[in-house]
Amino acid sequence: MDNNTEDLLKKIQEYEYKLNLMNVFQEFLININKKIEIDELAHYITNFIKESFNVKFCSLIINHERFARGEIDSEKLQESESRMIKEVTRKKDTLFVRNIRKDTLLFDLKNELELALMTIPILDESKIIACLNIYDDLEKINGKEIELMRTFLNKASLALSNSIKHSILKNKVNTDNLTGLYNRNYFMEKLNYELNTFKKFLSLIMLDIDFFKNYNDVNGHQAGDSLLKELALIINANVRDKDIIGRYGGEEFIIILPEADNSSALQICERLRKAVEDFQRSKS
């Protein structure tokens, strides 16, 4: 094969690659603009990145909510992502570490896996609205792929921004006015979704305030409302970011613990019990 033929074949291959990329890009744009719910959009983006770029794991963080594709539920990895995002937020630029076990930013976490981790911010104008975390083998992440991912994610920013705005409006309808927690109807929708999508474990906590009617009768309903707000804050502060909290009734609360086994759920229950006990003592 002479040089001219080789050059022609390379040009044909490059043309086919670009044509295929344009088709994938067009399909990506069509699909993301069809999805308004954050959960659905986030799952599509993480699935697309994992499959199209053949990365090991990836996760997308939107408004402190984490959507993952792949087996990356380790608390150490989630803490690694949090540290990466803090740096990305400060610098407003992509951050890349070649080895999560050895990098100085993450060394003390003692991650078990030897993987590269890249965190890419997704911006709406100059504001970071989401961050994508990508895990892969140490030698696989390269500059060309990073730029290509950025191109796709930049185009996703408008869809994400619209989805976030929709979520804010929806939350006003779906949250309890007093406590800011999910109301019962919307919580049951969330529970139904988790029941149909969980992988290994799913736990549920129900709790209420003992003798709440007596407390209201003695102290007045305004004091009762304040107590409900305080308890909502205590619950929020003592569960995981991915846990889902609802106000089930007057003084009844309910919590979904995705992927929490019995042992993990009991630990969270004990943490809540201790926090409430400490709160009672502080008021005595």
CB distance 134 to 49 below 8 Å:
yes
CB distance 62 to 42 below 8 Å:
yes
Of 69, 80, 5, the C-alpha closest to 39 is 69
**For the packed helices 38-53 and 3-32, what is the interaxial angle rounded to 10 degrees?**
170
Active-site position among 71, 114, 139, 251: 251
Based on the number of CB atoms within 10 Å of its own CB, is 130 exposed (0-12), middle (13-18) or buried (19 or more)? Answer: buried
CA–CA gap between residue 273 and residue 268 (Å, rounded): 9
Mark whether 251 is an active-site residue. Answer: yes
Question: What are the residues whose beta carbons fall under 8 Å from the beta carbon of 145, sequence distance 6 or more?
Answer: 53
Give buried/exposed letters for 173-185 (b at 16+ CB in 10 A, else e).
Answer: ebbbeebebbbee
CA–CA gap between residue 76 and residue 237 (Å, rounded): 20
Q: How many CB atoms lie within 10 A of CB 158?
A: 13
CA–CA gap between residue 9 and residue 3 (Å, rounded): 10
Q: Which residues are catalytic?
A: 251
